Amino acid sequence: MSKFAVTGASGKLGGATIACLLERRVAPGNIVAVVRNPARNTTLTARGIQVRQGDYTDPASLERALQGVRRLAFVSTSALGDERMLHHRNVVNAARAAGVGHIFYTSVIKPAAVAKFAASPGHFHTEALIRDSGISHSFFRNNLYLDLIPLMFSAALATGTLLNNTGDGRIGFVARNDIAAALAAVLSSPERPKTSYDITAKSPYNLAQVAQALGKAAGKSITYQPLSTADFREALAKAGVPGPVIEMSVALGEAARAGEFDAGSGDLQALLGREPTSLEAFLADALRR
């Protein structure tokens, strides 16, 4: 029986998780990479990994891909709303039909049926799907990626001012590579996994701290200027930011203001066996590239 499978294996988190499994000396032949197009993933095949075609929109392909899998890292789709739930229902049903032993699902911190963060309800309902399936499971409730900070706040690097509608809200940013390493650790561990893990910084960051860390990494002074949602939307529009990006940015700020990302935990450190990557260390490395 193949031991481990990773869905979305051609994506950044899925690919990093497979790399971490290999670093932990999991035999390549015991890893199944589930991808939409195996022909585009010849590098994985060359390393001895079983690359299987599995499309979130094609239940039959998913069931074939998950045959013989004991532990599944189920990386959530990038779709939202009804499309996301269709994808996720297909994966859960296929896992049950294929006899998967345990699902590790990449959820979100503080999942809720009603939330300002658009992805949160889908994660909430997917967790319910997995619980109702009867399959043994663990939820990896991930906070926002540190990797997003240079993209989210790039304007602050140019202007010296970080404008946002987050107020005093805090976010427990974590590095995507740390999430992958932790997921690989629990996937390959002989110990019984917990039902849920809060994958978040031990002490969440407010945007004043983010601005200070950005400034230090960039070698300049950056200050945080909190704005109302209306003023932030207007500032983004004046800067020429596209409408959809404005709405996404505003909603993310409102979610943070509402405390949806304000969570601290030692779960990530325990899984890694080391201190997770800090905000300061991540930005120093990211801005040096």
pLDDT tens digits, one per residue of 62-83:
999 999 999 999 999 988 899 9
pLDDT tens digits, one per residue of 176-217:
999 999 999 999 998 889 999 999 999 999 999 999 999 999
Phi, psi dihedrals of residue 121, rounded to the nearest 5°: -60, -40
**Long-range contacts (CB closer than 8 Å, 24 or more residues apart) made by 38-44:** 40/10, 41/9, 41/10, 44/9, 44/18
- Residue 101 host element (H or E): none
What are the residues whose beta carbons fall under 8 Å from the beta carbon of 245, sequence distance 6 or more? Answer: 236
Can you point out the beta strands (E) in the chain? 4-6, 31-35, 50-53, 71-74, 102-108, 136-142, 161-164, 170-171, 196-199, 205-206, 223-226
Whether 259 and 169 have beta carbons less than 8 Å apart is answered as yes
pLDDT at residue 211, as a whole number: 97
- 106 beta partners: 140
Which residues of the chain register pLDDT less than 50?
1
Q: DSSP states of 203-257 as a string?
A: S-EEHHHHHHHHHHHHTS--EEEE--HHHHHHHHHHTT--HHHHHHHHHHHHHHH
Rounded to whole angstroms, the Cα distance separating 227 from 47 reads 50
Whether 200 and 287 have beta carbons less than 8 Å apart is answered as no
pLDDT at residue 164, as a whole number: 97
User: Dihedral sign, CA of 67, 36, 140, 217?
Assistant: positive
pLDDT at residue 2, as a whole number: 61
Instruction: State the pTM of this model.
Output: 0.95
Give the chain's domains with CATH numbers.
4-142 (3.40.50.720), 143-173+200-262+274-289 (3.90.25.10)
